[in-house]
A and B are shown apart, each in its own frame.
Chain A
């Protein structure tokens, strides 16, 4: 009996990058994961508040969210948003000592059950570069799972930025910069896209903020996709 999983969408995927949430739900269904969502009642993990120094409000909001998740009785929370992932894993445990559920990023979750994906991924003749989202990579140490999943797609050629993994550049939207100084955020995204390796056809990231910001800054009209979107496409979705 598989444990019940909560798919936590996060505000970006609920309101701005809905195709990421749709792709994740579709994938979870395809690989037969018994999951639930909080739908309209999801609320906020508190990440933006932590990152913009609004600590007391962050505590209030995260307490509400923790109680909500506990009342669902799930043992595992999976999210596609590295911001939510870091907050629920690091900030929650720093503040509330321990929480009675495990939190995983979608790339870790899918990697662990990759056998269910493997035989379904169709060949894709494309040069793909993976951008490490700061909150997923540097802050949470998840570097290899997303790469392994990309490499599972037959014929995909995985390229690397010159500076990758813990030295990866930034999409410019974290830490509340996108809302405080949108122009700065956009210029950072442009400068990071300026470092794309030769021949890149698709930039794949694993974070709705990165996808959103890169899409805005994308002058070269290169394809920008989130990891679950890429996997779903390879599945033939």
Chain B
């Protein structure tokens, strides 16, 4: 096997390691995150109990993943929405292509699942105009980059760089003042929300028994996206479904402090059906002030395979809070290059199942297996164990770094890794 799989990742690593701008952006984010999270956890002592309950909820929900999807889909359909099941990324893209059509204006709020299925590229090919409205996503969209953190996708871009990017966008000098930068995005995106034909969001958790989608956010953009356009399409992984509303509320409590170090997010939207009214003669019609149509796509794309694998099943419990990424000593220096479509240790596992094991064959060799991610994870997911197991599978397939092969030969022949 050629070692392209290894050298190309190494090159990517080097670009990150020695890019002062990115490293600065990242380290500012790490220190504000850790300080805020520590404070939030100190303010919410009961969260210790809640996060343990959430672990239990996920343990049992994941066992009934298919059944919960069936129930959620039924309930969504009953409430005049449309539910779909996409086995893989291609099926999901096809569904979107059909629902969106061509030459439309689309606004999106942050959704890693849409990154996972490469949605934007597919929609743009049909002449659709896509606007990312989450500030971080917006920044990297106009910079033509890829997200580098699941919660804070532009974590690697310091304010000076954002100012530079925005100045070009609006054709006037924008100062590297964070308040001002946010203002520019607000002004630019405001009319897009109202003019858009379609709004696309993800969901953080779904309650099966009522078919309710929960969207947790701080910027208020997801509210616009899911509310202003006449059509709302939501795509989410099948692992996000929990049995009941009360389970979902527990997840809602755990996510914000671990994700961004706040006690509770500014907004939590709960969406159960298209907008409707029966105010005139008690006759129910759909499409009041909010969308007229609601489409929910549940995506598998490797998740059922994870469920069947006793070692990797635990990865499905992941809430995508992103806490373990900021806390990962390797992510802190490698940022978005440490992984593939998802980042950090858990991201390596997710990438392996959603984009193929080869996609992380080299990145996994940068994991020191220090085990810190497991300690900071609200669900105590044993990521290091999964990483070791995945590594061993990759070695069986021939993905063994040259240096590791030499070490092995030295050990077998001379009894020590140095060959001395």
Contact = CB atoms under 8 A, between A and B. Distances in A.
A226 B394 CA distance: 35
A50 B388 CA distance: 8
Interface in A56-105: 57, 60-61
Interface stretch (A25-33, A118-126, A186-194, A197-205): A186-194
Contacts of A53: 388, 391-395, 400
B369 A175 contact: yes
Contacts of B376: 167
A188 B418 contact: no
A208 interface: no
Chain B residues touching A, range: 35 or more
A181 B366 contact: yes
Contact of A15 (B13, B371, B375, B416): B416
B220 interface: no
A42 interface: yes
B307 interface: no
Interface in B307-336: 329-330, 332-334
B92 to A, nearest CB: 32
Interface string B402-413: 011001100110
Contacts of A177: 330, 365-368
A179 B10 CA distance: 12
B35 to A, nearest CB: 10
B401 A180 contact: yes
B361 to A, nearest CB: 10
A139 B372 CA distance: 10
A184 interface: yes
A162 B332 CA distance: 17
B374 to A, nearest CB: 8
Nearest to A169: B329
Nearest to A192: B329
Interface string A158-178: 000000001111101111110
Interface residues of A, number: 44
Contacts of A170: 329-330, 368, 370, 372
A61 B330 CA distance: 29
A191 B412 contact: no
Contacts of A167: 372, 375-376
B19 to A, nearest CB: 12
B416 A54 contact: no
Nearest to A184: B366
B372 A188 contact: no
A83 to B, nearest CB: 10
B391 A138 contact: no
Contact of A134 (B14, B17, B370): B370
A43 interface: yes
A185 B369 CA distance: 12
Given A138-B375, A176-B404, A188-B330, A44 B415 contact: yes
Nearest to B6: A180
Contacts of B187: none
Given A52-B391, A167-B375, A179-B407, A138 B334 contact: no
Contacts of B392: 53-55
Contacts of B334: 184
Contacts of A138: 370-372, 374-375
B330 A184 contact: yes
B246 interface: no
B368 A173 contact: yes
Given A53-B388, A54-B395, A179 B403 contact: yes
A133 B249 CA distance: 38
A196 interface: no
Contacts of A11: 416-418
A138 B403 CA distance: 27
B420 interface: yes
A187 B401 contact: no
Contacts of B400: 52-54
Interface in B157-191: none
Given A52-B404, A172-B329, A184-B17, A61 B367 contact: no
A49 B391 CA distance: 11
B370 to A, nearest CB: 4
Contacts of B416: 11, 14-15, 43-44
B333 A188 contact: yes
A175 B367 contact: yes
A84 B161 CA distance: 46
Interface string B219-240: 0000000000000000000000
A183 interface: yes
Given A138-B375, A188-B330, A57 B411 contact: yes
Interface in B193-230: none
A172 B368 CA distance: 6
A77 B27 CA distance: 42
A48 B405 CA distance: 11
A51 interface: yes
Contacts of B403: 176, 179-180
Given A49-B408, A52-B391, A175-B370, 11 more contacts: A48-B417, A51-B388, A52-B401, A53-B394, A138-B374, A170-B372, A175-B368, A176-B401, A184-B333, A188-B329, A188-B330
Q: Which 7 A-B pairs have the closest CB atoms?
A: A53-B391, A170-B370, A175-B369, A53-B392, A180-B365, A53-B395, A174-B368
10 contacts: A11-B416, A14-B416, A60-B412, A175-B368, A176-B365, A176-B401, A176-B403, A177-B365, A184-B333, A184-B366
